[in-house]
Chain A
Amino acid sequence: MNELGKTLKEGWQSSGASIVPPTNMELLISEAEKLNQSSIKFQRNNLIILGLSFLMMCYFLLFYFGFQELLSKIGVAIMLGFFLFRVLLEAYSIYKGKEKSITKAAIDNLEEEKNYLELRLKIHGTFTYLTLGMYTLGFILLLPEFAIYLSSFWMAAMVVSYFVPGIILTLVIRKNVQKEIRELRTVVELMKKIGS
């Protein structure tokens, strides 16, 4: 071989001579289809869960509690508006994820992956923290009206039951963001290696 030398080429050829494709092609196809279906299912379920949560929130905040005060109504609008904003962002991210293609040249594939991860980082980082912050603000605006009907004990219980899961959720988000930052770094590192 003119590029790397005869010995290497012979070694490569001799090692390749004994390789035969496994015969379970049908199984491979069914596994491929399962993989495709499971990724579509996962994304679809994610959106369904978010959508149902939004509808439940609408029911409780708009109809069940029946807020009367203007401040509470502003709070409800902020909570629902930002939750809907987050659901739409998730849908957009799924749409962008589908645009990625494994059949492109390596550097283009990595570029797509980088852009996608940057988008995910914005959604999971900046926009999720913004949503959480605004959601909390909306919740705080509801408290004066709740205070009219609830005793101090139940008010305290409600605030604790909001903030404790909220803190846990923030920690989970932080962990996911860190994982995505690591992924992004790896992609950039690989792009550099190919381009250098």
Chain B
Amino acid sequence: MIFDQKKRFENFYQAYYRMVFQLCLGFLKGDDEQAKDLTQEVFMQVWNNLEKFREDSSPKTWIYRITVNACLNHLKKQKISSEKIGEVIRDQESAEEINSDENDSVKELYKAMAELSEVDRLITGFLLEEMSHEEIASIMGITEGNLRVKIHRIKQRLKKLINHE
């Protein structure tokens, strides 16, 4: 039983690590170290909840749900410790967290993503992973109509940000 669980976890870990890490990286504005920690936290939750996973959604959607909730929890903790309620964290910094090892187009992408709100950063990550609207809406818990409005806004904002560079 435990062996099966480990095997299953290992499959998920190998298959979805990149996806989770990259979403965390986009969410954390390219901060590599924090993204590694957050990814680790996500997989710890995956392990602790694996027994309850009944495959009523795809593993990818299930793991993405955990990732989004872990990202939002991280944000909540950060906001509480900063003691500046109402102030959006994206205002605190911009480019300084962008990993200097990345090439220019990647840097530009994370820089543009850093200017988006936290929720929009997550949705952008899903779009870059080419997930369907249905999957994204089910992960976020919103309607597809609402999601389409958000995507329209994100596309416009990203276009502006990237053309502005």
Q: Which residues of A contact B (CB under 8 A)?
A: 1, 3-5, 7-12, 14-16, 19-21, 25, 28-29, 31-33, 35-36, 101-110, 179, 182-183, 185-187, 189-190, 193-195
Contact = CB atoms under 8 A, between A and B. Distances in A.
A12 B72 contact: no
Interface of B: 6, 9-10, 13-14, 17-19, 21-22, 25, 40, 43-45, 47-49, 52-53, 62, 65-66, 68-70, 72-73, 75-76, 79-80, 83, 85-86, 102-103, 105-106, 108-110, 117-119, 124, 127-130, 138-142, 146, 151, 154-155, 158-159, 162
11 contacts: A1-B128, A3-B130, A4-B158, A12-B106, A25-B13, A28-B47, A29-B9, A31-B44, A106-B139, A106-B140, A108-B141
A189 B72 CA distance: 11
B65 A104 contact: yes
Residue of B6, B76, B159 most packed against chain A (CB within 10 A): B76
4 tightest A-B CB contacts, nearest first: A105-B141, A107-B141, A21-B17, A32-B44
B20 to A, nearest CB: 9
Contact of B155 (A3, A182, A194): A3
